[in-house]
Amino acid sequence: MSRVKGGVSWRNTPPGTVTFGASAMEVETGLWRSMRPVLDLEKCVSCLKCWVQCPDASIMTDEDARVCGINEYFCKGCGVCQAVCPAGAISMRPESDFSDCGKVCEPDKVMQLVKNTGMVGELVGS
Amino acid sequence: MGHSAERDEADTNRRVEMTSGNLAFAEAMRQINPDVVAAYPITPSTEIPMRFAEYVANGDVDTRYVAVESEHSAITACVGASVAGGRVMTASSANGVALMHEIFPIAASFRAPIVFGLVNRSLGAPVNIHCDHSDSMPERDSGWVQIYCEDAQEVYDTVMLSVRLAEHPDVLTPVFVCQDGFITSHCYEPVEFLQDESVRQFVGTREPRYPLLDVDNPVSYGSFTMSEHYFEIKRNQIEGLNNVSRVYRELSDEYVALSGREYPMIDRYMTDDADYVVVIMSSATGVVKDVVDDLRREGVRAGCLRVRMYRPFPSGEVREALSGKKCVAVLDRSASPGGVAPLAAEIKSALYMSPDRVPVFDYIFGLGGRDFFPDDARRVFQDLMDMRYEDGARYIGLLEEDD
């Protein structure tokens, strides 16, 4: 078993630090998070301020462009969404409060979450 | 180096001109006609971009010449042009090289096959324009190939070889073509040039693997990379250097057929039966070879080993050449303050696995262009013959209190 999840052997690594299109989709920046945003849909008014301000496009929206969740695969926990929320619908809680702290999402689930953000149509890779 | 191999009949119409190491480099650039040159001239390499800019202005080449505001910008523009897919060349020296340092490992990691005229000059302070190797040696771990030339002819021929070596798919690594400031770069000597058409055929055109300008196959260079991939990328890069000696031998065979001139990675001068060998690099080698000739006439089995390729370091060849010698002196033209000088460290490391323990004496010479005379070389050989070993480096030509 590889000691690095998703790792590629050095012989099969493309030369020149080259990465191919849309590889940002594969990078789990959510691993950096120490504070997790928790969304209370009862309070959310779907004003989309968080959707506009999120630096990682982690705010997910449904078919009617209403806020429906937060993509924890990419969310770095910066807290901007909480700061801009006029309804007090987002709270920041320490990762250690959660039983799934540090668990890695399944790639298929991640791609579905990304599709749910409405920011991409066709996904490259995976 | 040898001059005896057979020549290709197609290239018999040669021309020989009196020229310098710098101008021989610039003439090679004219014949290669690179896509992009970005440079910020600095003594003693100034003449390379200066002469090449004339070729550009006169329409002798169709290179895009980028006049930039610093050496850091020069090498940065070179990296951009190289990953875009172009054939790229530049030149610099001393503190100009030092200012470029941040970008050198990036160029190597991007596998940007830039060919770089590095005209060796001492690194300030104090400011000094003359030769030593304190500018190129700090780059020995930057991931570039380093080749040190003895004379202007070798500079010219090495540029040709370096274009092919750098761009070879198994190597894909930038190359420093080093020559000694003023001694080689400015002194005039006869240099034999290939025909323009022969050069065009030898260097061909670059076939980049992942050119940034190929919009149908988009790629990114230098993306942020966490611990999952960095280690493998660096190891993959190191393999490019590991492949150099095989690829270089193949290219050297091809080039000797074209030019009649051959440049092994190490230049052995009467080392086979020698008891005492002086190891040295670049232009000062000629002084040692002359003294070897004198000593041979006196019945001393002296020899000289010139290290031409420093990165990758040809450890196996060096070990084979020096094993079994009575003792060896290594003359470094730069210091590693507080440690063993760069060439001596490599030689000792190469000899560690030799069957017999070969004593190695360390010397530092020629810093800031301090002259190196035949008597200096003779004294080194005398130290070897008398087995006058000293712990740590000795300094050749340094003034002491009673001098």
Strands A67-70 and A59-61: antiparallel
Q: Tell me the C-alpha distance between B371 and B262, whole Å.
A: 29
Q: Looking at residue A32, what is its pLDDT?
A: 87
Tell me the shortest Cα–Cα distance from A29 to chain B, in angstroms: 10
The total number of structural domains that make up chain B: 2
Are B150 and B274 found together in one domain? no
Are B180 and B33 found together in one domain? yes
Place of tokens 């809680």: A93
Residue B1 covered by a domain: no
Residue B53 covered by a domain: yes
Tell me which of B214, B243, B259 is where a domain ends: B259
Are B253 and B313 found together in one domain? no
Q: Is the pLDDT of residue B85 over 90?
A: yes
Are B118 and B54 found together in one domain? yes
Residue B354 covered by a domain: yes
Give chain A's radius of gyration (CA, Å). 16
Are B154 and B238 found together in one domain? yes
**In contact, B345 and B339? CB cutoff 8 Å:** yes
Give B236's DSSP letter: H
A-chain residues near B172 (CB < 8 A): 15-16
Residue of B51, B45, B14, B6 whose CA lies nearest to B199 = B14
B112 in contact with chain A, both atoms CB, cutoff 8 A:
yes
Tell me the shortest Cα–Cα distance from B233 to chain A, in angstroms: 6
Q: Tell me the C-alpha distance between B254 and B250, whole Å.
A: 6
Are B37 and B182 found together in one domain? yes
Chain centroid offset of residue B258 CA: 21
B236 in contact with chain A, both atoms CB, cutoff 8 A:
yes
Are B76 and B189 found together in one domain? yes
Are B239 and B317 found together in one domain? no
Q: Looking at residue A27, what is its pLDDT?
A: 76
Establish whether this prediction's ipTM goes over 0.90.
no
**In contact, B108 and B237? CB cutoff 8 Å:** yes
Model confidence band, residue A19 (pLDDT cutoffs 50, 70, 90): confident
Beta-sheet strands, E only, within A21-117: 35-39, 59-61, 67-70, 90-94
Q: For residue A8, give the nearest of B209, B232, B237 by CB distance.
A: B232
Mutate one of A8, A9, A18 to test the B interface: name it (highest B CB count within 10 A). A18
Q: Which CATH number does the domain housing residue B333 bear?
A: 3.40.50.920
Chain A residues bordering chain B (beta-carbon distance below 8 Å): 4-11, 13-21, 23, 27
Please answer yes or no on whether B235 and A10 come within 8 Å at the CB atom. yes
**pLDDT tens readout for residues B49-60:** 999 999 999 999
Residue B403 covered by a domain: no
Show the domains of chain A with their CATH numbers: 26-116 (3.30.70.20)
B-chain residues near A27 (CB < 8 A): 224, 226
Are B254 and B310 found together in one domain? no
Tell me which of B192, B226, B259 is where a domain ends: B259
Strand order across the B394-395 sheet: B266-269, B302-307, B276-280, B327-332, B360-364, B394-395
Q: Is the pLDDT of residue B8 over 70?
A: no
- Name the more confident of B281 and A100: B281
Q: What is the rounded average pLDDT of the residues B209-229?
A: 89
Q: What is the rounded average pLDDT of the residues B37-62?
A: 98
Residue B222 covered by a domain: yes
Residue B147 covered by a domain: yes
Are B282 and B300 found together in one domain? yes
Q: Looking at residue B173, what is its pLDDT?
A: 98
**In contact, B378 and B385? CB cutoff 8 Å:** no
Give A15's DSSP letter: G
B210 in contact with chain A, both atoms CB, cutoff 8 A:
yes
- Name the more confident of B284 and B402: B284
Q: What is the rounded average pLDDT of the residues A17-28?
A: 75
Q: What is the rounded average pLDDT of the residues B220-234?
A: 88
Q: What is the rounded average pLDDT of the residues A63-77?
A: 93
Distances (CA, A) of B331 to B334, B340, B341: 9, 12, 9
Domain coverage including residue B193: 9-259
- Count CB pairs under 8 A between chains A and B: 64
Mutate one of B173, B223, B229, B235 to test the A interface: name it (highest A CB count within 10 A). B229
* b/e per residue B295-324 (b: at least 16 CB within 10 A): beeeebbbbbbbbbbbbbbbeebbbebbee
Are B69 and B119 found together in one domain? yes
Tell me the shortest Cα–Cα distance from A28 to chain B, in angstroms: 10
- Name the more confident of B142 and A57: B142
- Name the more confident of A122 and B357: B357
Residue B201 covered by a domain: yes
Q: Is the pLDDT of residue A24 over 80?
A: no
**In contact, A51 and A68? CB cutoff 8 Å:** no
Q: Is the pLDDT of residue B217 over 50?
A: yes
Q: Is the pLDDT of residue B332 over 90?
A: yes
Q: Which CATH number does the domain housing residue B151 bear?
A: 3.40.50.970
Q: Is the pLDDT of residue B175 over 50?
A: yes
Q: Is the pLDDT of residue A120 over 70?
A: no
Q: What is the rounded average pLDDT of the residues B69-85?
A: 98
Q: Residue B218 contacts by C-beta under 8 Å, 6 or more apart in sequence? A: A20, A21
A-chain residues near B236 (CB < 8 A): 10-11, 13, 15
**pLDDT tens readout for residues B103-115:** 999 999 999 999 9
Are B316 and B179 found together in one domain? no
- Burial of A68 (C-beta count, 10 Å sphere; 0-12/13-18/19+): middle
Give B208's DSSP letter: -
Model confidence band, residue A1 (pLDDT cutoffs 50, 70, 90): very low
Q: Looking at residue A125, what is its pLDDT?
A: 36
**pLDDT tens readout for residues B235-251:** 999 999 999 999 999 99
The chain B residue lying nearest A19, using CA atoms, is B220
Q: What is the rounded average pLDDT of the residues B159-180?
A: 98
Tell me which of B214, B236, B259 is where a domain ends: B259
* pLDDT > 90 in chain B, percent: 93
Residue B3 covered by a domain: no
- Name the more confident of A73 and A2: A73
Average pLDDT of chain B, as a whole number = 95
